[in-house]
Structure 1
Amino acid sequence: MKPVVLATAGRFGLSACLVVALAACGGGGSAPGAAGVVEGGTFTLGMSSDPGSLDPQLGAGTSLFTVTQFAYDPLVSVDGDTGEIRSALATSWEADATTVRLTLAEGITCSDGTPLTASAVADNLAFVGDPANQSPFLGTFYPVGATAQADDATRTVTITLAAPAPFVLNGLANLPIVCPSGMADRAGLRTATAGTGPFALTEAAPGDRYTYAKRPDYTWGPGGATTATPGLPDTVVVKVVENETTAANLLLSGGLNATQVAGPDSERLAGSGLFVAETPAIVGEQWYNHAGGRVTDDPAVRMALTRALDLAELQKVITAGRGSPATTLATNEPVACPGDSVSRALPSTDPAAAGALLDQAGWTVGADGVRSKDGRPLALTFLYQNNLGSSGDAAAELAVQQWKAIGVAATAQSQNETTLTGTIFGAGDWDVAWVSLNVSSPDQLVPFLSGPPAPDGTNFAAISDPEYDAAVAAASALTGAEGCSAWLDAEAGLIAEADIVPFAATSARTFGKGAEFATPGQLVPTSIRMTAE
């Protein structure tokens, strides 16, 4: 399975904001009107990790999702304020329990000038829908077992569903469509783009920058957006800047026009009179490796590790005092199922009870203060992403200290997005990981919480919970919001068992200088407006 972690734009987490981020998410700042904008110019965006391969359908890490938005379009979009489905490549659509029918806009062209046909769209859906291709979007944005047929004469694509999919249009709003040249040469997509989006890649310098040029003929953006809008830049440069303080300094000095900053540097930027777009996000989400042979495959160990932590204090530290407790697993606006699946289910903090659980499970404290069982020490490999600056480091250190107090030896490792996703989806050498999956509807999380474990599936934590699977089946049979209560109950069941531990939410802030934009999960390219500093 290709690495995939879904989070919000820029520096927040392994993710994709899966609805846009996937222009399907909502929230974020509003782009200015025509007055006060500057024509042309270059917009430089700071990004905390290199995206690696640029194939938009074979990975969903935050960095890849960020750059994908510039060169590729989805079939539909989602209004960030109302949650209603809006146009993108398709201008009309119909959906019922078993069928989705979409009609493409006229005159859509790829960056190489080739027209985009309904058949090309159907080929995309067939590629994502084929398990052999291991697209992380299968089951996330495109329902398992769905099939698509095209009618080029009417520009119509008809999707037949194998089972009810209550949020199928929300998923399609996050699925990037690749043009025929890219479908014919998947290897070429690693370092080039072949899309219908508002920009086309002109230079790729991995580890440093990615440069995109505006397409002057683009007229089919979300809600009818075009590249003729005043203030849209002629060139976009996405620059890789891993250190958050460096990114903040570059923004203030004019070396960047936008970057997301989460740690203490965000307060410095907030007091500098810069433009800021905010996006709700989960930033603290603890996962355990359930795979056989790991110390965390024992439910008692997972529960003990959870109850040993002061989650309220961790929430304050990891968000630099700006956050709040998490309430649901799907937080990207517009949220399909608002509510609270967390507070009623999250195990309470009780280090004494945590120690008793380990005692009962046969983990005894040795002379060195570390527990062991059958000669095996209770030692953890604890991974977290390096996208939260000093706040993330401090929170990880606090967690290690609290585990040490109950006899657990944890080694914390900060990794960039590329390394971390490679570890959890590939080598699998981890026990605990802080990985934030930010999505807009609960069904988009199902492949990460059930099904085949990595590397055969997206279930990187190897979670197996029959009660969750049954709850998902029941919720999926209900239409849209009618099933929200059932979806939240399904999430609560996982959380109560400490299969996943969401402990912190915040408002992710993307700061701008010399530019304004909207960030409904990911920065929306057609919302960028260059302004006088």
Structure 2
Amino acid sequence: MKRTAAPIALSLAAAALVGCGATGGGSGDGGGGDADGGVVDGGTFTMAMNADPGNLDPQSSVSSALFSISQLPYDRLLNVDFDSGEVVSGLASEWAVDGTTISLTLAEGITCSDGAELTASDVAANLDHVADPKSKSPFLGTFLPVGAKTTADDAARTVTVELAEPAPFALQGLANVPIICAAGLEDRASLAEQSLGTGPYELTEAAPGDSYTYTIRDGYTWGPGGAATDTEGLPDTIVVKVVQNESTAANLLLSGQLNGAIVNGPDTKRLEAAGLTTYDTAAISGEQFYNQAEGRATSDPEVRLALTQALDLEELQGVLTSGAGSPATTLAALDPVACPGDSVSAALPAQDVDAATAALADADVPGLTFLFDPSSGSGVGAAAELAVQQWKAAGVTVTPKPQSGSAIQQTVFGTGDWDIAWLPLNVSSPDQLVPFLSGPGVAEGGTNFAAIDNPDYVAGVEEASAMVGQEGCDTWLEAESFLVAEADVVPFANTVGKTWQQGAEFEYPGQMVPTSIRMLAK
């Protein structure tokens, strides 16, 4: 089976800090191949996720939990092949790029879960919704360039996207936009209780905070690489359970009550001893932001630099990743990485506690608030406690505020009442980060939640955006370095996360690939 992945997910909700939103290769016997015992049709596959997705409208949020669960009932226009990084078919069987014009032709016979045929006009309506600033979709500027205009020809099954300016990774962006069918577009409130998409499974029961149940769709033949639901070994039912505690997830795996779960802390030793296999994923797990909104102490660049210099980032990396991580090297770190390289190491401010102490004393910094998600991994809480101690040693009182992923998202995009946040953004191409690192802030209706204003980064983005694909990678990486050097973004840890498998094999490149699941004979 060809492995495919949509190269995202922005872990803005910090839901599944490690694993969700990443892509990587399987280890052990994992990854979708047949086991010695063979595969069996039907049955129920149960997967754990460590945060509730909230609003199930797949275009309403960029949280990892929602993005992952949306793979079950919703398809994308295109996919990205994990091994090669090339764009491959999705709902579109043909596509072409000519300057600022993207042309796509839908495959024949695509139907929605309510039985309706998916039309080119339906696809255009999806993209129009994202493109409309009034929709306030976080996908705008991230996966669909600002100013894009879409037209459709239902008879020819073609969709044409006219871009306002060149976008080097526009196809990769489209590979992240879930397509909703006409009935869902007309009544988005209904998406909280049902799914209206073209995907291989449809939502049949929703118990927010507990579980979500999906049932297989007969006649599905247009999945990644031509995947179909009549493939031997696919489950009839998929249950996604909300399990916030890693130890609980590990216990459920060992007892056979779960077929899959992301576990990265000390419980991995028990799972390894039991002979369970994994699908490995890579992601930025440690990334620090400062609230630069007017009136916040952290709007002062000298304060941000001092707070960064007060930290031993290497020690924090080791604690946060339980010794299993590595230094961050780029801001867009997910495989297939569009621009490999190192924009971080040389630019990252070095620890200098004396300089930090002096600068913070001169600035008379008041007490600061610090957001992090303790459910994102067993080492996160300990690392957060260590960071607070290191800031205290530099003379600043920082109050930790552990919050769930959804609560953090509400804070940074809602109340704005925060100073420091650990909030890893996980994407594969650097253009996907631009609206989160520049442009309008939340108060102006944008997604630049930290209110970053770095002219050198903006100039670098403008130059890189005029280049085609990887031709601009050196310029993209240089632009990222400007952010790191000014402590606008402080990436300090990468982690290889493990999605554990019990009684089934599947691919999990940052999100479930439902057509890859194979239930194993006991």
Same fold, judged at TM 0.5 (above):
yes
1:527 counterpart = 2:503 = no
1:439 counterpart = 2:427 = yes
The CA deviation at 1:388 is 3.1
The CA deviation at 1:354 is 1.0
How far, CA to CA, are the matches of 2:228 and 2:49 in structure 1?
A: 25
Give the secondary structure class of the aligned counterpart of 1:78. strand
Q: Which residue of 1 aligns with 2:279?
A: 277
The residue identity in structure 1 corresponding to 2:467 is L
After TM superposition, the structure 1 = structure 2 runs for residues 101-250 of structure 1, keeping only pairs within 5 Å, are: 101-250=103-252
Q: Which residue of 2 aligns with 1:382?
A: 370
Q: Which moved more, 1:474-483 or 1:4-13?
A: 4-13
How far, CA to CA, are the matches of 1:216 and 1:34 in structure 2?
A: 25
TM-aligned CA distance change 1:8 to 1:452, over 3 Å: closer
Whether contact under 8 Å (2:316, 2:383) holds in the other structure is yes
Per-residue deviation, residues 417-473 of structure 1 (Å, max 9, x unmatched) = 111111111011111110111101000000100111115111111111111111100
1:514 counterpart = 2:503 = yes
Q: Which residue of 2 aligns with 1:6?
A: 10
The residue identity in structure 2 corresponding to 1:293 is G
The residue identity in structure 2 corresponding to 1:49 is A
CA RMSD of aligned residues (A): 1.8
Q: Which residue of 1 aligns with 2:4?
A: none
Give the secondary structure class of the aligned counterpart of 2:498. strand
The CA deviation at 1:58 is 1.0
How far, CA to CA, are the matches of 1:216 and 1:101 in structure 2?
A: 29
How far, CA to CA, are the matches of 1:126 and 1:166 in structure 2?
A: 20
Give the secondary structure class of the aligned counterpart of 1:70. coil
Whether contact under 8 Å (2:68, 2:510) holds in the other structure is no
The residue identity in structure 1 corresponding to 2:472 is G
The CA deviation at 1:222 is 1.1
Q: Gaps (5+ residues) in structure 1?
A: 364-372
How far, CA to CA, are the matches of 1:411 and 1:173 in structure 2?
A: 40
Moved over 4 A (4+): 8-11
Q: Which moved more, 1:260-269 or 1:410-419?
A: 260-269
Q: State the TM-score, normalized to the length of structure 2.
A: 0.95
Give the secondary structure class of the aligned counterpart of 2:46. strand
Q: Which residue of 1 aligns with 2:33?
A: 32
The CA deviation at 1:16 is 6.4
Whether contact under 8 Å (2:85, 2:336) holds in the other structure is yes
Pick aligned residue for 1:318 from 317, 320, 325: 320
Q: Which residue of 1 aligns with 2:409?
A: 421
How far, CA to CA, are the matches of 2:463 and 2:198 in structure 1?
A: 38
How far, CA to CA, are the matches of 1:269 and 1:326 in structure 2?
A: 27
How far, CA to CA, are the matches of 2:63 and 2:238 in structure 1?
A: 20
Per-residue deviation, residues 292-351 of structure 1 (Å, max 9, x unmatched) = 111111111110110110000000000001000001011111101111111011111111
How far, CA to CA, are the matches of 1:134 and 1:27 in structure 2?
A: 34
Give the secondary structure class of the aligned counterpart of 1:459. coil
Q: Which residue of 1 aligns with 2:97?
A: 95
Q: State the TM-score, normalized to the length of structure 1.
A: 0.93
Whether contact under 8 Å (1:14, 1:435) holds in the other structure is no
The residue identity in structure 1 corresponding to 2:346 is R
How far, CA to CA, are the matches of 1:395 and 1:9 in structure 2?
A: 19
The residue identity in structure 1 corresponding to 2:10 is L
The CA deviation at 1:189 is 1.4
After TM superposition, the structure 1 = structure 2 runs for residues 456-495 of structure 1, keeping only pairs within 5 Å, are: 456-495=445-484
Whether contact under 8 Å (2:24, 2:279) holds in the other structure is no
Query: Number of residues paired by the alignment?
Result: 510
1:353 counterpart = 2:341 = no
Per-residue deviation, residues 89-126 of structure 1 (Å, max 9, x unmatched) = 00110013211001000000000000000111011110
Give the secondary structure class of the aligned counterpart of 2:442. coil
1:70 counterpart = 2:58 = no
The residue identity in structure 1 corresponding to 2:82 is G
Whether contact under 8 Å (1:8, 1:281) holds in the other structure is no
Whether contact under 8 Å (2:15, 2:63) holds in the other structure is no
Whether contact under 8 Å (1:285, 1:501) holds in the other structure is yes
Give the secondary structure class of the aligned counterpart of 1:486. helix
Whether contact under 8 Å (1:256, 1:513) holds in the other structure is yes
How far, CA to CA, are the matches of 1:531 and 1:16 in structure 2?
A: 24
1:504 counterpart = 2:493 = yes
How far, CA to CA, are the matches of 1:246 and 1:15 in structure 2?
A: 17
Whether contact under 8 Å (1:382, 1:411) holds in the other structure is yes
The residue identity in structure 2 corresponding to 1:30 is G
How far, CA to CA, are the matches of 1:353 and 1:31 in structure 2?
A: 52
After TM superposition, the structure 1 = structure 2 runs for residues 332-351 of structure 1, keeping only pairs within 5 Å, are: 332-351=334-353
Aligned residues: percent identity?
Answer: 61
How far, CA to CA, are the matches of 1:459 and 1:192 in structure 2?
A: 31
How far, CA to CA, are the matches of 2:76 and 2:122 in structure 1?
A: 13
Give the secondary structure class of the aligned counterpart of 2:284. strand
Per-residue deviation, residues 372-399 of structure 1 (Å, max 9, x unmatched) = x3xxx52111010123343111000000
TM-aligned CA distance change 1:9 to 1:234, over 3 Å: farther
The residue identity in structure 2 corresponding to 1:219 is T
How far, CA to CA, are the matches of 2:9 and 2:332 in structure 1?
A: 14
The CA deviation at 1:15 is 9.4
Per-residue deviation, residues 231-280 of structure 1 (Å, max 9, x unmatched) = 11100000011111111111111111111012222233233211200111
Whether contact under 8 Å (2:166, 2:466) holds in the other structure is yes
The residue identity in structure 2 corresponding to 1:32 is G
Pick aligned residue for 1:83 from 82, 85, 95: 85
How far, CA to CA, are the matches of 1:514 and 1:41 in structure 2?
A: 11
The residue identity in structure 2 corresponding to 1:509 is K
The residue identity in structure 2 corresponding to 1:330 is A
TM-aligned CA distance change 1:389 to 1:27, over 3 Å: closer
How far, CA to CA, are the matches of 2:10 and 2:248 in structure 1?
A: 24
The residue identity in structure 2 corresponding to 1:447 is P
Give the secondary structure class of the aligned counterpart of 2:496. strand
How far, CA to CA, are the matches of 2:367 and 2:122 in structure 1?
A: 51
How far, CA to CA, are the matches of 2:423 and 2:15 in structure 1?
A: 13
How far, CA to CA, are the matches of 2:319 and 2:418 in structure 1?
A: 23
After TM superposition, the structure 1 = structure 2 runs for residues 400-419 of structure 1, keeping only pairs within 5 Å, are: 400-419=388-407
How far, CA to CA, are the matches of 2:35 and 2:326 in structure 1?
A: 36
The residue identity in structure 2 corresponding to 1:160 is E
How far, CA to CA, are the matches of 1:178 and 1:14 in structure 2?
A: 28
How far, CA to CA, are the matches of 2:463 and 2:98 in structure 1?
A: 18
Give the secondary structure class of the aligned counterpart of 2:325. coil
The residue identity in structure 2 corresponding to 1:507 is V
Give the secondary structure class of the aligned counterpart of 1:495. helix
The CA deviation at 1:190 is 2.4
Whether contact under 8 Å (1:277, 1:519) holds in the other structure is yes
TM-aligned CA distance change 1:236 to 1:441, over 3 Å: same
The CA deviation at 1:357 is 2.2
Whether contact under 8 Å (1:342, 1:492) holds in the other structure is yes
The residue identity in structure 2 corresponding to 1:306 is T
The CA deviation at 1:26 is 5.3
